[in-house]
Amino acid sequence: MGQINLDIVTPERRVFQGQVDMIIAPGSEGFLGILPSHTPLITSLRIGIARIKNNDEQIKVAIGGGFMEVQPDKIIILANTAELGNEIDISRARAAKERAEERIATFENGGVASTEFDLLRARTSLQRALTRLKAADDDGTWRPGEKGLEE
């Protein structure tokens, strides 16, 4: 089976470029698996994990929403943010997750000066943090002996 050229770019950098067998992307209407010679397609992406399959390898990419343009010979993903699984700073993602959870909790307890909008924002950052943890193969629960996570 052939391969297709994949390009993942964010405003800050090019995250991935190369030939791949397949990509499974988090489309706004559900996950989409794209193989070479796919019908031209344009879709928005939601926050979630994209899986790139290449030979027997799988690379996970945490996508923070964006767009995907599929053409028979190439796929372009324009992501607001994108990080390869092995680049993700787990402790930072955890801190972000805890911060977001805290903010949601204060809101639900009728906390100070929070608006609907802030809640929405906190929920989005929670989602993003969880996605990043998942892409880094970390389920967010505390495990003793942190080092084991990186292997």
Residues that bind other proteins (CB under 8 A): 7, 9-14, 27-29, 32, 39-44, 67, 69, 71, 76, 78, 80-81
| Residues 37/3, Cβ–Cβ less than 8 Å | no
The minimum distance between CB 121 and other proteins, in angstroms, equals 10
* CB nearer to other proteins: pick between 11 and 144: 11
Q: Is 57 left (phi over 0), alpha (psi -120 to 50) or beta?
A: beta
Phi, psi of 149 (to 5 degrees): -70, -30
Q: Which is nearer to other proteins, 29 or 116 (CB)?
A: 29
Q: State how far the alpha carbon of 72 is from the alpha carbons of 24, 85, 146, in Å.
A: 16, 27, 43
Alpha carbon 99 to its chain centroid, in Å, reads 19
Minimum CB–partner distance for residue 111 and other proteins (Å): 22
Contact 118, 107 (CB under 8 A): yes
Nearest distance in Å: CB 56, other proteins: 29
**How far apart are CB 66 and other proteins at their closest, in Å?**
8
> CB of 74: closest distance to other proteins in angstroms?
11
Which of helix, strand or coil describes residue 148? Answer: helix
Instruction: Compute CA 41 distance to the chain's CA centroid, rounded to the nearest angstrom.
Output: 20
- Measured from the CB atom, the residue of 124 and 137 that comes closer to other proteins is 124
Which CB atom, from 52 or from 82, has the smaller least distance to other proteins? 82
Tell me whether residue 39 or residue 55 sits nearer to other proteins (CB atom). 39
